Structure 1
Amino acid sequence: MTAAYYVQGVLSQVKSAINEQRSKVSTSKTLFVHDNAGPHRARATTQSLRELGIQVLPHPAYSPDLAPRDFWLFPILKDRLAGRKFHRIQDLAKAVNSELRTIPEEDYEGAFRKWQITLKRCIESHGEYFEGL
């Protein structure tokens, strides 16, 4: 993924979702979490997020276990898409989007709660290694 794709393809969808949600909640503040991948740190990305009024929360380097997509979402998608072959990237993207839509909102909320617990444990351990969630 490139920064250009991330800004145009991903953040444009984020912007639409934020605008839709802002009409339902009483705050205009948006916090955003993503890891330290190149496209996420690129100037175009940080500028786009700033223009959208989105505050990015820092993510510790080398900590994929603090990213909900790594400890929760990717295993689900990997399991659901196992054994399927995709000859075009568009077909893969369509299948992933389709699977994401079938995951109940409560499951996303549960992953967010678990992520908060993990972050708290990381803070309490002063960034040292820990197991068992």
Structure 2
Amino acid sequence: MFERQGPKRLSDIVTGDETWFPFFIIPPKRLNSMWVDGQGDRPVVLSPGFQSRKRMFTVFFNYSGALVVDMLPQDTTMTATYYAQNMLSQVKSAINDQRPKVSTSRTLLLHDNSGPNKARATTQSLRELEIRVLSHPAYSPDLALYDFWLLTVLKNRLAGQKFDRIQDLTKAVNSRPRTVPEEYYQGVFRKRQIRLKRCI
């Protein structure tokens, strides 16, 4: 579908997912590594515990960049109702602003097969908003654009920073996806095509 002469374009795909952002993100192992001599002590790197302060955010993006960054209410997780009533409407509005002539007529939503994404409320909302779903193979996080690229980029850019207030964390998570150059977003969509071919 997405080859040069195919009927679809990579710019038609919109993808997104939710993840937890702690108030302090531990830098990745490669940034924590350091040389020590035989007599020196290894540095201690503390990891955040399961009950560390954190909030769940949802990020949607496409070929041109970030579309929607949303923070879930405190002490909640993603549900079909929230996804259908809040997230999908924001996505449609963002697409209309970005591509007013095309709107959502060509949009293909790529999301995983989690419960809220497959629920009846979600499928009904997608029909009403005229957004089609691009099928995603089950149990294939290595083919999910969000998992193998955006999460790593976002969390690496926030690594080592400590946020005391939710307003500061929200501002940082909202701004970081929009500081990633457009060519990076385009590159990751092209890399996914290579991964799909290898999988086949």
Instruction: Give the structure-1-normalised TM-score.
Output: 0.78
Counterpart Cα distance in 2 of 1:92 and 1:13: 21
Q: Paired residue for 1:130?
A: none
1:12 to 89, 98, 102: 89
2:189 to 112, 116, 120: 112
Note if contact 1:3-1:39 (Cα within 8 Å) is conserved in structure 2.
yes
Relative to 1, partners in 2 of residues 1:88 and 1:27: Cα closer, same or farther, differing over 3 Å?
A: closer
**Larger-Rg structure:** 2
Note if contact 2:105-2:131 (Cα within 8 Å) is conserved in structure 1.
no
Note if contact 2:92-2:104 (Cα within 8 Å) is conserved in structure 1.
no
Q: Paired residue for 2:118?
A: 41
How big is the shift at 1:22? 3.9
Counterpart Cα distance in 2 of 1:56 and 1:26: 15
Note if contact 2:104-2:130 (Cα within 8 Å) is conserved in structure 1.
no
Relative to 1, partners in 2 of residues 1:92 and 1:40: Cα closer, same or farther, differing over 3 Å?
A: farther
SS at structure 1 position matched to 2:108: strand
Relative to 1, partners in 2 of residues 1:96 and 1:33: Cα closer, same or farther, differing over 3 Å?
A: same
How big is the shift at 1:92? 3.5
Counterpart Cα distance in 2 of 1:93 and 1:47: 30
Relative to 1, partners in 2 of residues 1:93 and 1:37: Cα closer, same or farther, differing over 3 Å?
A: farther
Q: How many residues align?
A: 123
How big is the shift at 1:26? 9.2
Counterpart Cα distance in 2 of 1:52 and 1:99: 28
Note if contact 2:112-2:144 (Cα within 8 Å) is conserved in structure 1.
yes
Relative to 1, partners in 2 of residues 1:85 and 1:38: Cα closer, same or farther, differing over 3 Å?
A: farther
Could you tell me which runs of 5 or more consecutive residues in structure 1 were left unpaired when the two chains were aligned. Answer: 124-133
How big is the shift at 1:85? 3.7
Relative to 1, partners in 2 of residues 1:42 and 1:67: Cα closer, same or farther, differing over 3 Å?
A: same
Relative to 1, partners in 2 of residues 1:73 and 1:48: Cα closer, same or farther, differing over 3 Å?
A: same
Pairwise CA RMSD:
2.3
Structure with greater strand percent: 2
How big is the shift at 1:5? 2.5
1:94-129 CA-partner distances (Å, limit 9, x unpaired):
321210110111111111111111112222xxxxxx
Note if contact 1:32-1:56 (Cα within 8 Å) is conserved in structure 2.
yes
Counterpart Cα distance in 2 of 1:8 and 1:50: 13
Structure with greater helix percent: 1
* Structure with bigger RCO (C-alpha 8 Å, 6+ apart): 2
Counterpart Cα distance in 2 of 1:76 and 1:117: 20
How big is the shift at 1:20? 2.5
Note if contact 1:66-1:118 (Cα within 8 Å) is conserved in structure 2.
yes
Percent identity at matched positions? 74
Counterpart Cα distance in 2 of 1:87 and 1:5: 27
Could you tell me which runs of 5 or more consecutive residues in structure 2 were left unpaired when the two chains were aligned. Answer: 1-77
